[in-house]
Structure 1
Amino acid sequence: MAYRSTARTEATRRAHRERLLDAARQLLAEGGYAAAGISAIADRAGVATGSVYNHFASKQELLAAVFRHVAGHELSTVQEAVRARGGATEQLRALVEVFAYRALRNPRTAWALLAEPVDPLVEQERLTYRRGYHALAESVIADGIAAGELPTQIAQLSAAAVIGAVGEALLGPLSPVGERTEPGPVVVGITALCLRAVGADGT
């Protein structure tokens, strides 16, 4: 009996935690980190404000967990798109296109992931997220060099340049105070630039 009670308590605890994370994700998508205050998160989740601290030591810890979940999902989606293509050129094209299209279709969330000022805990998650994209691009470029599809180059540096170019090029279109633009031309331009940068054919 005690075991069942403990299991039920743990299940309830997990459910409350997920409600808080879901609420924080919704607020992040609507208004960025500024909108995701503890009171607002608790209200959206339908729980008492004080109960948030039963699951997270601080607002920063909660937002870091949200960032980790959202960014991890985005990275996994891009990785799957890359794996579905053959050859370095098409894989790199998939990386840039999927990343950019998803960002432009969800600009507020993308801005929070890429550029919105954050506290150190969330910034650490952001660095981990960027390293995942660097590693993916480096692997694609290195395989392309080995296959003779791409010219000889330092894959690590080229990957950093590509990911940096994508992020920088998206800042204007994603900015909360910038003008919204049609995703198509922006993505085409960024993709062409990145493919040319690594010497890929089919640009």
Structure 2
Amino acid sequence: MPYRRTPAVQARIDAQREAVLAAAVGLLSEHGYTGCSMSAVAARAGVATGSVYRHFPSKADLVVELFRTVVSREVAAVSEAAGRQAGLVEDIVAVVETFAGRALKSPRLAYALLAEPVDPAVDAERLVFRRAFRDVFAERIAEGVQRGVLPAQDPQLTAAALVGAGAEALIGPLSEPAVGPGTVPALVRFTLRALGASDGDHARSHQPGPAADGV
């Protein structure tokens, strides 16, 4: 009969795999992909290098899974921001502020996700990553067009352009030792103008009463 792992054995294997990924996330945040060697990840996780290879046959396999793990957290944070229902324009602003704010708080990690040279397999995952963010934007833009809050436009095209422009705009600040306080507000203004909304729409969404919801 083929060997079947007991629940306890499987739980230990799963826990070790999670420990390896957590170690890799830490190294990625501190040193980028170059710091995520199999031996360095093993040392950080407190396991033998061979144990890392049992979970991930190559560094490419590890890095792809690492990228997916980190990006899923970022997409979840942005999706949550988009669904706050603070007002349509305000929700779009929240997406920009969340995306940019999280990047600027963890610049080394953000640079790794957005721009650091990587293997083709990770580049392919980057496309998935950008599409996920695009879809979050596009859903809110489409609703804005339907409700007459935003002018007619192609939500998918606008959303893709905003994600690309936002990522490109952040790459420079991410490499700076200090980020100016105007970076995120400038991105918000750019986004509103690109959408055809006004800064006044954003300002009104902060006011109490019906105007806060009636974007």
Find the counterpart in structure 1 of residue 179 from structure 2: 181
Hey, what does 1:193 align to over in structure 2?
Answer: 190
What is the RMSD of the two structures over their aligned residues, measured on CA atoms?
1.6
Identity of aligned residues (%): 48
Are the counterparts in 2 of residues 85 and 94 from structure 1 also a CA contact under 8 Å? no
TM-score (norm 1): 0.92
Do 2:134 and 2:160's aligned partners in 1 also have CA atoms closer than 8 Å?
A: yes
Deviations 1:56-92 (A, max 9, x none): 1111111111111111001101110110034331121
Of the structure 1 ranges 122-131 and 35-44, higher mean CA displacement relative to structure 2 is found in 122-131
Q: 1: CA distance between counterparts of 2:191 and 2:80? A: 20
The question of whether the paired residues in 1 share the 8 Å contact of 2:131 and 2:160 is answered with no
Deviation at 1:50?
A: 1.5
* 1: CA distance, partners of 2:194 / 2:137: 13
Q: Unaligned stretches of 5+ in structure 1? A: none
Aligned-partner SS, 2:126: helix
Tell me what 1:105 maps to. Answer: 105
| Structure 2 residue matching 1:153: 3-state secondary structure | coil
Q: Which residue of 1 aligns with 2:54?
A: 54
Structure 2 unaligned residues grouped into runs of 5+:
203-215
Aligned to 2:22, the other structure's residue is in SS state helix
SS in 2 for 1:151: coil
TM-score (norm 2): 0.87
Matches within 5 A, 1:1-203: 6-175=6-175, 178-182=176-180, 184-201=181-198, 202=201
**CA distance in structure 2 between the aligned counterparts of 1:181 and 1:87, rounded to whole angstroms:** 29
Q: Deviation per CA, 1:107-149: give whole Å up to 9, x if none.
A: 0110111111111222222111110011111111110000000
SS class of match (2:182): helix
Q: CA–CA distance in 1 between the matches of 2:42 and 2:143? A: 47
For 2:5 and 2:27, the matched residues in 1 are separated by: 33
Amino acid at match of 1:8: A
Give me the whole-angstrom Cα distance separating, in 1, the residues matched to 2:183 and 2:21: 32
Q: How many residues align?
A: 198
